[in-house]
Amino acid sequence: MKYNIEKIDLIAKQLAEIVEEALEEENKEGVLIGEIEMGMRESLREIGKNALKCFLENAEREVEAEIECGCGGKLQYQRRREATLWSVFGKMTYTRAYYSGCKCGEGQALIDQRYGIEPGKVTAGLAHLLALSGIDKSFEEGQEWLNAFLLFEVSENTIRAETQFLGELQRQADEDLIKEMHNETTLQKREQAAKNVPDRLYGSIDAAKVRIESRVKQGKKAEMEEDWRDMKIVCWYEGELVPSHQRSVRQKDKVQREGTVFRAKNKRYSCDITEAEQFGKLLWATGCSACADCARELVFVCDGATWIWKLVSHYYPKAVQIVDWYHAEDRLKRIADEAFSALEERQAWKEKITENLWQGKVEFVIAACQSLSKKSNLAKQAVTYFSNNIERMRYAQFREAGYLIGSGVIESGCKQIVTRRLKLPGAQWNLDGAILTAKARCVWLSGRWQELVSKRSLLPLAI
């Protein structure tokens, strides 16, 4: 919106005079800027609330005697009726023309319909702010935080409801996408019209545990049990070289060994708590949305979990598969710590075997682990791990091709979505609450927040 600057300046001068008069009346001396700021903020909030009230009440130039009802019948003007709503300026009331009298028994106010207002509920603008708090902080902490910024009190339940409502919108969007991307005709049309297809697209998948609220365990002895569920997460992204002047200390260390250093861009996260088979449908749908099926090269970088590679092989059989380098390297470190008590011997073994793994000589690594399997359980387990992932660990070849070999982007996603929000101290979720809050947070981390907020604003009103 464009505003008349001269009128704004006039209002600003009037507000300054009001604050000055208030200070004089209270005989306040030595007042500091902080108190003046807070006074002006509260005044601006009151001005905003009154201005919004005036705007809505004056928006109807003429009152119609009769209007059409959504059912096809007619509604007659009754009276100007009061309504309440919660906006970014706080709780306010306004009056508007109200119509009823149709055989269907429903009534409506044209102003509410025109501006997307549901009386008694929060506006889309306030819902946006509440949900931003809800995806970042506990609902209790968010209440205190919002009170300080909005200058009025909002309940925990309202913050929770608005956060999870946006999550529900995203869940519905995911379900619609799954249906759309499993329709052969739709896929063919999409492939013909595909634009901006990436030359190389990456996908990473992982899971993190979320504590779901206690429930009664069925059996001979009914008891309450805590349930930990896997929040499965997929991230689609592209890679780009990090310019030398933008490299962090860690990245400068990496470039000395790897020659170049890459970072992820255009990240798109999706998540759900569900079985692997069902999650595979979301993996396919979001991949199609990111043009994974059209990209010249598709590369998956994940840890060694069997369920992950089964999904990748099923939905994207032509993709390059890479086991995250850092998981594999860390496994060797833990084997060395368990197998050797002498520091010098431990260090020598770790450096030698790690270098062979770095060069993609996985068979050498397997043989080295086999030789330690009698005195190290970790080494014995590693034989299976490396044997199952031989072709996913040809790191020298992958580096030569310019592929990212670390799954840091999905590790970060798990921390951002699950650890930072769902695992806050004392947090305990019901299943739906965890899923919806995580889905809303995924949208924020993917840079698509405004798109989701717009969906809420455009929803048809409940009659």
**CA–CA gap between residue 349 and residue 331 (Å, rounded):** 13
Do the domain assignments include residue 50? yes
Do the domain assignments include residue 244? yes
The reported pLDDT for the residue numbered 253 is 63
Claim to verify: residue 204 and residue 88 sit in the same structural domain? no
169, 269, 453 from 458: Cα distances, Å: 12, 24, 9
Do the domain assignments include residue 19? no
* Boundary residue ending a domain (121, 143, 168): 121
Claim to verify: residue 117 and residue 198 sit in the same structural domain? no
Claim to verify: residue 399 and residue 304 sit in the same structural domain? yes
pLDDT digits (tens, 9 = 90+) for 315-341: 999 999 999 999 999 999 999 999 999
pLDDT digits (tens, 9 = 90+) for 114-161: 998 999 999 999 999 999 999 999 999 999 999 999 999 999 999 999
Claim to verify: residue 102 and residue 214 sit in the same structural domain? no
Nearest residue to 439 via CA among 417, 409, 454:
417
Claim to verify: residue 274 and residue 405 sit in the same structural domain? yes
Q: In the chain, which residues have pLDDT < 70?
A: 1, 191-194, 215-226, 249-260, 459-463
Do the domain assignments include residue 63? yes
Claim to verify: residue 114 and residue 230 sit in the same structural domain? no
> Is the pTM higher than 0.85?
yes
The reported pLDDT for the residue numbered 463 is 37
Claim to verify: residue 228 and residue 114 sit in the same structural domain? no
Q: Classify 246 in phi/psi space as left (phi over 0), alpha (psi -120 to 50) or beta.
A: alpha
Q: Considering Cα of 59, then 61, then 62, then 68, what sign does the dihedral take?
A: negative
> Which tokens sit at 396?
């020298």
What residue numbers bound the domain in which 246 lies? 184-416
Claim to verify: residue 191 and residue 336 sit in the same structural domain? yes
* Boundary residue ending a domain (121, 146, 164): 121
Contact (CB, 8 A) for 131 and 440:
yes
Contact (CB, 8 A) for 143 and 155:
yes
Claim to verify: residue 97 and residue 191 sit in the same structural domain? no
The reported pLDDT for the residue numbered 426 is 76
Do the domain assignments include residue 342? yes
Claim to verify: residue 116 and residue 189 sit in the same structural domain? no
* Boundary residue ending a domain (99, 121, 143): 121
**CA–CA gap between residue 167 and residue 173 (Å, rounded):** 10
Claim to verify: residue 253 and residue 386 sit in the same structural domain? yes
Give helix 124-134 / helix 139-150 axis angle, nearest 10°: 130
Do the domain assignments include residue 399? yes
Do the domain assignments include residue 383? yes
Structural domain count of the chain: 2
Nearest residue to 138 via CA among 457, 393, 420, 405:
420
Nearest residue to 53 via CA among 92, 104, 105, 99:
92
Do the domain assignments include residue 53? yes
Nearest residue to 406 via CA among 291, 294, 260, 231:
260
Nearest residue to 67 via CA among 95, 109, 104:
109
Claim to verify: residue 270 and residue 353 sit in the same structural domain? yes
